Amino acid sequence: MELINIQPVIEPVNQYWLNDKMTNIDPINYCLVLFAGDNGISGENISAYLPYSTSDIVQEHLYGRAPTARLLQQMNKLEYIIDVGLAKSVPGTVKLNIRRGTANFLFGDALERIEVERAIEIGAFICNSLSNYKFDIIGIGEIGVADTLCASALISVMLGVSPADIVGPGSAGDKVYAQKVDIINRALRYRQVDPFDTIDLLSRFGGLEIASLAGFILEAARKGIGIMLDGYVTSVAALLARGLDNQADFKLLTSSLSAEPGHLMALESLSLKPDINLGIHYGEGLAAILGMNLKQYECNLN
Which residues are designated catalytic?
Answer: 284
Phi/psi class of residue 276: alpha, beta or left (left: φ > 0; alpha: ψ in -120 to 50)? beta
H or E segment and range at residue 30: strand 30-37
Judge whether 79 and 69 are in contact, CB under 8 Å. Answer: yes
**SS3 category, 168:** coil
Other beta carbons within 10 Å of 167: 26
H or E segment and range at residue 143: strand 137-143
H or E segment and range at residue 32: strand 30-37
SS3 percent helix, strand, coil of the chain, rounded to 5, is: 50, 10, 40
H or E segment and range at residue 59: helix 54-62
d(CA 208, CA 294): 30
Judge whether 245 and 214 are in contact, CB under 8 Å. Answer: no
How big is the CA angle at 220 (ends 205 and 229), to the nearest 5 degrees?
A: 60
Judge whether 32 and 291 are in contact, CB under 8 Å. Answer: no
Judge whether 17 and 75 are in contact, CB under 8 Å. Answer: no
Judge residue 174's burial from the number of C-beta atoms within 10 Å of its C-beta, 0-12 exposed, 13-18 middle, 19 or more buried.
exposed
